Chains A and B, each alone.
Chain A
């Protein structure tokens, strides 16, 4: 009975863990609970089946666990989305391998077992190859090739899908060899489905693939006859779907348009290049010094951080600047778009890394009405999430996406390397507005200059040494 208690305990802890992960206060403890649940599950299983084959178990545990821990400690916070994609792909690969292995066992599988093997191979393969493509795209090792935007890709994917089903049929008819072409075709299908999706939509795809890996795990649970695995897989699969839906809502995209609509902005041929430098008119640019003078006179300042800020490793300089302005009595907050960074919530993580208190991070719906009362907005390495076209131009691929309405503020400074288009490859009308000034340069350098200039102006040295020594 000891095993049963452990397994039930594991399910309970998993449920509590998933629930707790959705609240800031409990999230960290909940993560620990979920990890404990997995430990209980493993102990329960080993009590049940004994330690037969322990050297092999030790090998897998040591190598896999060791490498996982190593990567987890080494990876930079900016690379988090692609890291999650990599982990997810490995989970899918594991389900795939288990299913193939289980099909080779001498004990014949019943129909349900066979169908489960097929489901596990199919979903596991798609998860694996799809996650690797997603990782490649986020790392910018892979682009979005032009041919993937042609309508023929649907024909190719449909053919692949039909072919996988044919292979499934053959396996059920007793042709076990058909598992090999099934695996290859499913892997290709994963690539075929993920490659056409534009970089900006990649987080949604990762979230969906995360849900798939849960489904693959549940299928593996059917194969080996483990209720615990079925419950846990089903929970993660369902929770992943909800999270995917939440992300789609935040970007005002439907799941079908993300998956089958192709990359945003890539459709008009050559549009991405054509819209670059020469496309902008009446752009004003200014130096960091001028920006500092405006800042000094402001009462309310809002920063809009984007992925560019994180790439430049400028979070810490930004925090320093915010502190200086606060010492001067200037109200400072950070406007966080739901999909700032490369994944919803990614920017919060990046700013938390720089010790920015999370109650200064204001969500879009709360801060949008505040912009008309804001003196200065500084946009740092963000682009598509502040594009006014999303509200005004029905022909824009961004149309309808909720954006931060920074164009309502009195003055806007956009810190950017050049006038290049954003991650989604779409031009930004904000740059041409009369109240907008571009500050060209690397985010970190611009912030450092701003700090120097403000200090030279005497900002932050308010009465009775309140600031200086900190």
Chain B
């Protein structure tokens, strides 16, 4: 655990991050609702960072296995999520482009 992070700093990061998230997505054409949800979902797999930290800090193989399992599920989310989103977005074409 990187000791550099104080509680107040972390809370500031949380609040500012949330505000950024609220602002980033305003108007979305309905066409993109499903891909956007799928893309945001892939990003939420960023919890894989926590899994990597856990693996590095774990003193026992059992705990490392927990970390590796968590990493696996997170990566399933990330890789699958981004690829599926790309598959969907690749299909949007303008008239006459085919």
Contacts and interface: CB of A to CB of B under 8 A. Distances in A.
Interface in B1-52: 1-5, 7, 9-10, 13-22, 24-52
B35 A27 contact: yes
Given A41-B49, A42-B48, A357-B95, A234 B17 contact: yes
Nearest to A238: B21
Interface residues of A, number: 119
A31 B37 contact: no
A141 interface: no
Interface string A216-241: 11101111111111111111111111
Contacts of B42: 34-35, 87
Chain B interface, >50% SS class: helix
Contacts of A361: 31
Given A90-B76, A349-B35, A353-B91, A56 B65 contact: yes
A408 to B, nearest CB: 21
The prevalent SS among residues of A at the interface is: helix
A221 B35 CA distance: 25
Residue picked from A48, A73, A232, most chain B C-beta under 10 Å: A232
Contact of B46 (A30, A46, A233): A233
Contacts of B9: 227
Contact of B47 (A95, A105, A210, A234): A95
Interface in A336-375: 336, 338, 341, 343-346, 348-349, 352-353, 355, 357-361, 363
Contacts of A37: 43
A98 interface: yes
A83 interface: yes
Contacts of A348: 30-31, 34, 92
Contact of A100 (B43, B66, B75): B66
B25 A35 contact: no
Nearest to B82: A35
22 contacts: A27-B35, A31-B82, A56-B55, A61-B72, A64-B73, A64-B75, A77-B88, A80-B34, A87-B84, A91-B41, A94-B45, A210-B44, A216-B44, A221-B50, A225-B4, A231-B20, A236-B21, A237-B18, A240-B40, A343-B34, A352-B93, A355-B93
Interface of B: 1-5, 7, 9-10, 13-22, 24-59, 63-98
